[in-house]
Structures are given as structure tokens and as C-alpha cells.
Amino acid sequence: MKKLIPIYIFCILLSSMLTGCWNRREIDTLAIVQALGIDRAEDDQVSFSAQILKPSQVKASEKGGTGVWVVTSTGETVFDAIRNAALKTDRKLFFPHNKVIILSEETAKAGITPLLDFLRRDNEPRRLAYVFIARGKAKDILVGEHEQEKIPGKAIETLAKTSVITSHLPKRDLKDLLETLGSKTSSSVVPGIKIQKKIENGTSKEVVVLDDTAIFKKDKLIGWFDHTETRGLLWVLGEIKSGIIVVKSPKEETKNVSLEIIKTSTQLKPEITEGKLTITVQVKEEGNLAEQMSEVDLTKPDTFAELEKRQTTVIKEEIQATLTKSQAWGVDIFKFGEEFHRKYPQEWPKLEKNWDEEFPKVEVNLEVVARLSRVGISTTPMKPEESNK
């Protein structure tokens, strides 16, 4: 028995260290934020909107409604506005489950760095939350509808994930944005989002859809790229995952052919020769013949080669359009500066000081190789007489 006494004492001391979840918070005391938006208010105040999940109503929302509530408050700063939300909700806003961050176009034009400090500094907000720039007010996006999701924040998150199949928009989260804003030479790009009015059965709906791409200089929005210009950017960044390239059909120039992007790779090769900056962009693309609107047999070697040539031309034109516009705006959205820094560390400190002047003068050489691999399970086009059988 005496031998067991030390063991008993040890167990008692050990149990005294198990204090349990001393800082636990019950779910019924929290307002779980699914998406948040930041707008400018009057008198230079910040307007903060939070899309709050109502768990008890999510299942009931399948019969109508959304199962969420959007609360808006204002303050001198973002954090001040968040705390002022307590005047409207009896629960503390809880951010670890937040999936979406939306900044208004007006806010972005004035500069977004001060507005992101709380999201960067506090331990609750997720760094993996997707970021968007709203055409109009961010709050309007949070109250918008979506056909397939009852929780708008979840719908917007899904839109960000599925947008990669078109390669018409970049996918950016808070971590990506903060890293680019911290760069002295690279400029940020953020996907846009807007409200689109839709008439259905005589009823008007405001549906959330993705828009163009917001282009920043430092932390201020200076303009937008359309979908074609954005894909040109993504070719250079090596972020093309999928998509469709439409070209005219050989021998039937009025008909279109869809070429599916299957695999891509990009290499950037910077050079400094006698003080002149040059960078070669090498893009390799592999695709499939996915669809044709013509009746010409496109699988013959000569027509197949022509399709590859036209595909190459489209890729070059998309990249060139983006390069021309970005150099005219003086925004290095391609991270060329980082490539020169990596290869020429000794020369870089001097270049970095004047990169805004150096970037527009960089000569860019494009080398694009596009190949087609497959034609699907049908190798010949359908004839009108076949479709009538």
C-alpha cells in the first residue's frame, strides 16, 4: 500500500494540471461569420458588413430564405466597426469560419492596405478566405442571391473554386493578396464580383456573378482587365488549369472550333545585356479538339497542323494584349521583378529602386508552342443526313 501512495500523489498532481477548455465559447453565444464586406461610409468612416449564419434556420431555408443574416455597422476603423456590430446583434462576431472577403470598388480606389490590417493582425480571420473586389458596394454582394446555394457566402466560395475551369479570372485568397502587397515591385490582381439583375417568372432577382479582374498599383485599384486580358496574364503566371480556345475552322472560316486546354507550363527567362532588360516567356500548351461547328474533317494532318498554328496565335495575342496594357499602366502584375531579382541578385538593388521606370522598358519575347493530342470518341464531323436518321 505504501508503494502505491506516490502513484496516487502523482495522479492527483497531474489531474490538477488538466484545467479543461478554460476559454471555450459555446456556439449559441457566437455569430458565425460566413462572408464579410468593407465599404466606405460618410465622414470617411468604414462600413463593415458581416454575413452571419443562422444554424437553426439553415435546414428550414431549403423551403425559402437563405439561413443567413447580414448585419452592417460603421466605425472609425474596421475593428471599431466590428465592435459596433454588438449594438445590433447579441452575439460576438466569430471569424474562423469566414470564407469570403469583399472590398468595394470605391474602397479599392482609395487604398486597401489600412483596411486589411485587422484581418492580417488578428488571429481569428482566415488567411485562406477568398478576396473579391465588388462593382458597387460590398454589402450588396452579401445580400445577393444564388441559384444553387442557400448560403451566399458558400456560393461565392464555390464560384472562386470553379472559376479555374475557364481561366478567365485569377483565384486569390487573403494570404496571396498580403504577400503581393508586401512586395516592392509586384502589383496585385483580384477577381471582380457584381450583382446581376435577373427576371424569372415575372419576379426580379439580384444574382451574384463573377466579373472582370481588378488591377492594382501598390494598394490602389487603377483599372480592370476583361476575361481575354486576364487569361493573357494567367498564361504568363503559369496559372492556366483549363479553358476553351475558340478558333475559326480551316476551309470553313465562318465556323468555329473549340480547343480544350488540357496541360500548360510557363518559364520566364530574364536577361540583362549591356544594361538592357529582356525577358523571354516560354509557354507550352497541350489541348484537345473538343468541338467543331463545321463539316470539314479536321483530323487530317494539314488541318490539324493549321489548328495548332491558330491556337498558338490566339495564345500569343492574349499575352501581348496584357503585356501592352500592363506596361502602359506601369504595373508589374507578372512578377518580372522577382525573376530578375532571383537571377541577378547583385544588380537587383539598383533596379529595385527604379522598377516603376524600368518595368515599362523591359523587352518581352514570346515563345509559344501549342499541340493538339486527342479528338474525342468521334473522329469525323456529323453530317446533316446523319442527324436525320
Residue count of the chain, please give it: 389
Strand, helix or coil for residue 354: coil
Residue 62 CB: number of other CB atoms within 10 A? 9
Q: Are residues 269 and 347 in the same domain?
A: yes
**206: Cβ–Cβ under 8 A, 6 or more apart, which residues?**
140, 143, 144, 145, 195, 196, 197, 198
Q: Give a yes or no: residue 119 inside a domain.
A: yes
Q: Are residues 51 and 187 in the same domain?
A: yes
Number of H helices, E strands in the chain: 14, 13
* pLDDT, tens digit (0-9, with 9 covering 90-100), for 185-202: 999 999 999 998 877 776
At residue 82, the pLDDT reads 95
Residue 299 pLDDT exceeds 50? yes
Q: Are residues 39 and 65 in the same domain?
A: yes
Q: Are residues 261 and 134 in the same domain?
A: no
Residue 27 pLDDT exceeds 90? no
- For 342, half-sphere exposure in the C-beta direction (CA atoms, 13 angstrom radius) is 9
Model pTM score? 0.87
- The predicted model gives 85-96 an average pLDDT of 90
Residue 254 amino acid letter: T
Q: Are residues 164 and 312 in the same domain?
A: no
At residue 108, the pLDDT reads 97
Q: Which class for 315: exposed (0-12), middle (13-18), buried (19 or more C-beta within 10 A)?
A: buried
Q: Give a yes or no: residue 20 inside a domain.
A: no
- Domain total for the chain? 2
Q: Give a yes or no: residue 19 inside a domain.
A: no
Whole-angstrom distance, CA of residue 195 vs CA of residue 138: 10
- The predicted model gives 275-296 an average pLDDT of 93
Whole-angstrom distance, CA of residue 192 vs CA of residue 229: 14
Q: Are residues 185 and 154 in the same domain?
A: yes
Reading the block at residue 121, the C-alpha cell is 493582425
Whole-angstrom distance, CA of residue 356 vs CA of residue 321: 20
Q: Are residues 308 and 355 in the same domain?
A: yes
Report whether 41 contacts 74 (CB < 8 A): yes
Q: Are residues 148 and 214 in the same domain?
A: yes
At residue 224, the pLDDT reads 98
Whole-angstrom distance, CA of residue 316 vs CA of residue 295: 28
Of 190, 225, 260, the position where a domain reaches its end is: 225
Pairing of strands 100-104, 130-134: parallel
Strand, helix or coil for residue 337: helix
Q: Are residues 219 and 239 in the same domain?
A: no
Residue 61 pLDDT exceeds 80? no
Q: Which class for 84: exposed (0-12), middle (13-18), buried (19 or more C-beta within 10 A)?
A: middle
Q: Give a yes or no: residue 92 inside a domain.
A: yes
Residue 123 CB: number of other CB atoms within 10 A? 6
Q: Are residues 213 and 319 in the same domain?
A: no
Least confident stretch, 11-15, 28-32, 229-233: 11-15
Of 225, 243, 266, the position where a domain reaches its end is: 225
Q: Which class for 258: exposed (0-12), middle (13-18), buried (19 or more C-beta within 10 A)?
A: middle
* pLDDT, tens digit (0-9, with 9 covering 90-100), for 145-189: 776 677 778 888 988 888 889 999 999 999 999 999 999 999 999
Q: Are residues 193 and 286 in the same domain?
A: no
Reading the block at residue 360, the C-alpha cell is 515599362
Q: Are residues 94 and 188 in the same domain?
A: yes
At residue 153, the pLDDT reads 83
- Domain range holding 104? 27-225
Q: Give a yes or no: residue 160 inside a domain.
A: yes
Q: Give a yes or no: residue 213 inside a domain.
A: yes
Reading the block at residue 134, the C-alpha cell is 465588388
CATH number, domain containing residue 268: 3.30.300.210
Estimate the crossing angle of helix 174-181 against helix 113-121, to 10 degrees: 120
Of 197, 225, 253, the position where a domain reaches its end is: 225
Q: Give a yes or no: residue 350 inside a domain.
A: yes
Q: Give a yes or no: residue 15 inside a domain.
A: no
Whole-angstrom distance, CA of residue 41 vs CA of residue 113: 17
